[in-house]
Amino acid sequence: MDARFTLEKRIEAELKSYDGKMCIYADDFHGNVLTIDADEKVETASTIKVFILACLFDEVEKGRASLEDMLTYQEEHAVDGSGVLCALEPGAVLRVKDAATLMIIVSDNIATNMMIDYLGADTINACIRKLGCKDTELHNSIHFDRYDKLGTTTASDYAGMFIRMAKGELISPQADSKMIEILKKQHYNSMITRNFPPVYMDSDNADEVLIHVASKSGSMDACRNDGGVIYTPYGPYVLVMLNKEFGDAMYYPDHPATVFGAKVSRMLLDQFLALEGRFL
């Protein structure tokens, strides 16, 4: 094949007209890894919630936390933004596993603050370092009126979480499987799956769905991010796309980061399916 038409070159050509910077890490689990600016630091937005989830399961594994503990929504947890707990009043009581699930599947900010309070920011950051994510850090809880930074990560760090989780090598096979099942229920897949053929993902019978995605996205004024494991009939692959330095901070479905991220994601899917489970 002409070296000018490698998958990486085609993605780079697609991004020439993008008014922003996309940091990419993709792994097909067969030794083929594609990276573009994968070690550049980017604001996490809600992608930090995957690291918090991993810390929770690590603490449970060590016997220092329990998924059945009860948490109370306190005034200090209150924050606007994504989720459903903002429709409730402080005083609501949730099991830890329910707060963690809401944190992921509807990106609930109040549930996230409850989890940060339960685990402790220092514990979370120590766990992140233990997991080998040298460029990832939780800076603050979610309070937009007090802080303009939530967390920092890289495409390499974020992809590494999903790669090891998919292999059952992050916390333990059992814990990793439970986290994957939570991530598969995530409601916000506007970037990774936006351009996937609906026939691959839509069926009245769940057993007939050809492609499943376990992912977590995140958006703030400074970033538009998405990443996860894409499960196909030919096996899984991991894709992470972190976007920064775009000109338009507004939130809308056709934001350039979302549109170009969807294009990149579809290019990788098509290549993976065409080569029956590989990028190369």
User: In the structure, what pLDDT confidence band is assigned to residue 82 with cuts at 50, 70 and 90?
Assistant: confident
CA–CA gap between residue 8 and residue 10 (Å, rounded): 5
Q: What is the pLDDT of residue 204?
A: 63
Asked if residues 99 and 111 have their Cβ atoms less than 8 Å apart, the reply is yes
Q: Which domain holds residue 257?
A: 3-274
Please state which of the ranges 40-44, 55-59, 123-127, 207-211 shows the lowest mean pLDDT.
Answer: 207-211
Query: Could you tell me if residue 280 is inside a domain?
Result: no
CA angle, corner 168, sides to 69 and 273, nearest 5? Answer: 125
Per-residue pLDDT for 3 more than 60?
A: no
Please state the domain count of the chain.
1
Q: Mean of the per-residue pLDDT values for the chain? A: 94
What percentage of the chain has pLDDT greater than the value 90? Answer: 86
**pTM score of the predicted model:** 0.94
73-99 average pLDDT score: 93
Query: Could you tell me if residue 279 is inside a domain?
Result: no
CA–CA gap between residue 265 and residue 97 (Å, rounded): 31
Q: What is the pLDDT of residue 207?
A: 67
Q: Name which of 28, 38, 36, 10 is nearest 280 in CA terms.
A: 28
Query: Could you tell me if residue 127 is inside a domain?
Result: yes
Q: What is the pLDDT of residue 257?
A: 97
Query: Could you tell me if residue 228 is inside a domain?
Result: yes
- CATH number of the domain that 134 lies in? 3.40.710.10
What percentage of the chain has pLDDT greater than the value 70? Answer: 97
- Classify residue 83 as left (phi > 0), alpha (psi -120 to 50) or beta: left
Please state which of the ranges 5-14, 46-55, 111-120, 134-143 shows the lowest mean pLDDT.
Answer: 5-14
254-279 average pLDDT score: 97
Query: Could you tell me if residue 50 is inside a domain?
Result: yes
145-189 confidence digits (pLDDT tens): 787 789 999 999 999 999 999 999 999 999 999 999 999 999 888
Burial class (CB in 10 A: 0-12, 13-18, 19+), 97: middle
Three-state SS sequence of 209-264: CCCEEEEEEEEECCEEEEEEEEEECCEEEEEEEEEECCCCCCCCCCCHHHHHHHHH
- Classified as helix, coil or strand, 27 is strand
89-107 confidence digits (pLDDT tens): 999 999 999 999 999 999 9
Query: Could you tell me if residue 141 is inside a domain?
Result: yes
